[in-house]
Amino acid sequence: MKTRLLKGTSGDIDIAASIIKEGGLVAFPTETVYGLGADALNAEAVEKIYIAKGRPNDNPTIVTIAEQQDIYELCPHVTEDMKKLMDAFWPGPMTMIVPAADIIPPVTTANLPTAGMRMPDSDLTRELIRRSRPLAGPSANLSGKPSPTTAQHVMDDMDGRIDAVLDGGPCRVGIESTIIDMSSDEPMILRPGMITRAQFEEVLGKRVLLDKTLNVKPDPAQGDFKPKAPGQKYKHYAPNAPMILFQGEHEKVMAAIEEEKKKHEQAGEKVCVIAFSENQSELAAHEIYARLREADKEDVDIILATALPEQGEGFSVMNRMLKSAGFNIKEV
């Protein structure tokens, strides 16, 4: 299979829509990362996503829609709280876990009674959905690798594995959407993103819980755990080289990284340093995956990176960095 690189012309959107309607795979842009789309209501098409990515089949996809009204066909009961969040944050980087309608096949939800719903802030992708179908859309990378934030990143991983990539330019945000579970009476964030807990609480006027496993080293005994959302169970965002996160005061961290860098270079190793200051959480979100992918291209032996304060957006970026580093942290 040769993967086609499509642009945002009306004709190319029609080509992408035809591929989706015929059961094929098209990678699509969003404001967060590129997604890998198949017709969410076509079980055979969704199965191809798992094969292309090498994705475990108990890791649910996210259903990507074009309009708020689309959710009413896909969720049997849309609550007032769900409507508040939709009005506040869609289109945008929020995924809601909601009860799944019977028309959504089990492969799309990983056999769960719930499904993640997402309405991205990408006119190009929403037009693709209008011309085709709701999309099952996990990130368009090989399973476990850093997510793609450009069409070229997708091609690096998926060329020859999928039918087409719809190029919408670089992603604006850079890390995946916040996932909030709205399938019970107590809203809970299952994956942090650029929409924060405080923002949700302001809109809902109630407490929002945080999944207690967030930013905590996973328990190896969780083998039977069935994730409700992507990113909860399996290895994610990992570069090829081992990665160490240095945590502490910024000046001490930079000195420790420089010392560690010299040690590895003296041993003949190629070192990549990824450094963000304490107030650069947004920049880190935008650039972290691209920098990890560049490290892979340069075939480095080790990656040394600065940790960020785990507050607000920094908490979300650190969620990705901790998983990228396999929770390998040095306190300085």
Which region among 125-134, 205-214, 233-242 has the lowest average model confidence (pLDDT)? 233-242
Could you give the domains of the chain? 4-210 (3.90.870.10), 243-331 (3.40.50.11030)
Judge contact between 147 and 293, C-beta under 8 A. no
As a whole number of angstroms, the longest Cα–Cα distance in the chain is 62
Mention every residue, 6+ apart, whose C-beta is less than 8 A from residue 211: 188, 189, 190, 191, 232
pLDDT tens figures, 17-37: 999 999 999 999 999 999 999
d(CA 147, CA 244): 19
The sign of the torsion formed by the CA atoms of 123, 20, 75, 113 equals: negative
- Model confidence at 144, pLDDT cuts 50, 70, 90, reads confident
pLDDT higher than 60, residue 235: no
- Model confidence at 222, pLDDT cuts 50, 70, 90, reads low
- From the list 82, 32, 84, 41, the residue with the least C-alpha distance to 61 is 41
pLDDT at 57: 77
Assess whether the previous peptide bond of 91 is cis (omega < 30° from 0). Answer: yes
pLDDT at 159: 97
Report the predicted TM-score, pTM, of the whole model to 2 decimal places: 0.93
Amino acid at 138: P
Task: Say whether 107 sits in a helix, a strand or coil.
Answer: helix
- The listed range with the strongest mean pLDDT (116-120, 142-146, 226-230) is 116-120
First-last CA distance in the chain: 49
pLDDT, mean of residues 141-154? 95
**β-pairing verdict for 178-181 and 94-99:** parallel
pLDDT tens figures, 154-171: 999 999 999 999 999 999
pLDDT at 238: 87
pLDDT at 237: 82
- Model confidence at 302, pLDDT cuts 50, 70, 90, reads very high
- From the list 103, 237, 87, 100, the residue with the least C-alpha distance to 181 is 100
Specify the higher pLDDT residue, 204 or 216. Answer: 204
pLDDT higher than 60, residue 110: yes
pLDDT at 63: 98
Taking residue 326's Cβ as centre, other Cβ atoms within 10 Å add up to 15
**β-pairing verdict for 4-6 and 135-136:** unpaired
d(CA 191, CA 259): 34
pLDDT at 287: 96
d(CA 264, CA 258): 10
Count of residues in the chain: 332
- From the list 189, 188, 166, 167, the residue with the least C-alpha distance to 178 is 189
Beta bridge partners of 6: 166
For 182, the token pair is: 């709205």
Which region among 56-60, 93-97, 242-246, 306-310 has the lowest average model confidence (pLDDT)? 56-60
d(CA 264, CA 146): 24
pLDDT above 90: percentage of residues in the chain: 88
Q: What is the mean pLDDT of the chain?
A: 94
For 178, the token pair is: 């916040």
pLDDT at 58: 80
Specify the higher pLDDT residue, 251 or 223. Answer: 251
